[in-house]
Structure 1
Amino acid sequence: MVKSFLMRFYNRKLAAGALVTVVVFSILIKLGLWQLSRSEEKVQMEQMMTQRAQQPPIQLSHLTDEAIVNPNGLIVQLEVLPLKEHYILLDNQSFNGQVGYLALQLVRTEGHRFILFEVGFIPAPRLRDVLPVVQWLEQPFAFTGRLYRKSENPLSKELLLEEGSPSRIQNLNITQLSAHWNTPIELFVVQPIEENWRYPQPWQPIPLGSEKHLGYAVQWFGMATALFFFSLFLLFRLLKQGGIHD
């Protein structure tokens, strides 16, 4: 009787372990498939970025509605007028191991459209209360630029603007910034393409390439494979030891 009770307990424990193994195995496979789909998406994005980089610059007024929704990598020609005292510093940025800010300022185009102009990355001073000195754009400026739209962080997307000039913000929420400045700002940023530009420009069209996602998929599938064979090994070992009986 005691032996029968122990065997039932043992078999229930074995069944529970098998269930956990199946659940973990399914999660690993799903993660691998998700990374594969992300890799395919990035391949398409890389192809689009390559095509856009090879196209001649266009005028901002020629942008289609589709391009405005997904402007990343589009090359445009602009002449802009800087607007004084419309400066912001996007907090918690990093570049080449340094922590700092992304400096942006509001400019107006010839067609009276308002756009955020990326000045570049500025290292943060050692003291939090001290803001960096930035060489802002002050004169009308004709240039070739690249458009981009920063993706939102679903966990933190509020502007959280600190009053001042420049104003420090925690997230680039252009809709909220438009309301704060009472100005209809376009939902993208323009990054100047100039040799020897005054500041580094950390934004890249695709920060994580398709090969990275493919590598992650291989890792998840590898872990699932290892779990599968390890589970088989344990099962055969238990069967061999006579651990499962009717």
Structure 2
Amino acid sequence: MKRSIEDLSPTIRENAMLLSLDDDALMAVLLRTRASDHPSMRLSCKRIRDMIDSFQYRKERSVQGFAEVNVDLLSGFEQYQLSKKSMGEDPPSEEDDYFDENYDTFGYIHEYGDHSFERDCFRVFVDGRPLHKLRKREEFNLHVRLLPLCAPFWDLCDCYNQTLCDLGTSLFIDKGKPKVASIKNAVACNDDFPLPSLLYIQDFVLPFEHRFIESTVGPLLIKEVLKLLLGMYSISMYVPYRETQFTKEEADAERNTRFRFDEEKTDEDI
């Protein structure tokens, strides 16, 4: 005896209705699903699994604003464990003298009291996909620095790269205080950030399927980093560069209009 679609269980009925759609309509429906539902949806059938795992699906999720981004920072002890493991040493203890002297809650404390969080210090998921586990750094990279705004601030900036050196000397005096009126006024009017520190996003490279000017993944990821470290900084800076979030063609088009600090700029321009 033939059974109508109404006689089937709700789950089977929904799957049957989905599979009756053509590829474009099925893609439009799947784009709007929650990332937490993707593992079970992958098990439903090969057609849905292949579509969810496809490059085009990940790209469209990011471009249309449906991608879900989650970022977490390893604890200071987890970072210590990671550094020991990378050097092939025995598993450490939280009671190690070296850990007590050189690490705090956020991680390793560098010479100037600054922190450096490289890709391995983060757990980054886009729609449940762990970007931090991608093998090649050119596929995904994230490097964030937390710098105290105090003397000798210019020397501290000069330790890292030329871009940060340009930012430091152009926008701050050597004691770390802003010398640009717009930044100075913003900091003075905000009592929510007691720590005079600069959060500097140094390196940021996305996988190719999210590396488009229309993609929402880049802005969402930066927003998550800023929220994650909220209360640890009073000023944050990020300078997009080359393949950070652009394709090569877009980067070439943008290069001629990139902001340059060797040109005379007003406070409003900065």
TM-score, with normalisation over the residues of structure 1? 0.22
Please identify the structure whose Cα radius of gyration is greater: 1
Relative contact order (alpha carbons < 8 A, sep ≥ 6): 1 or 2 greater?
1
**Higher strand content, 1 or 2:** 1
TM-score, with normalisation over the residues of structure 2? 0.21
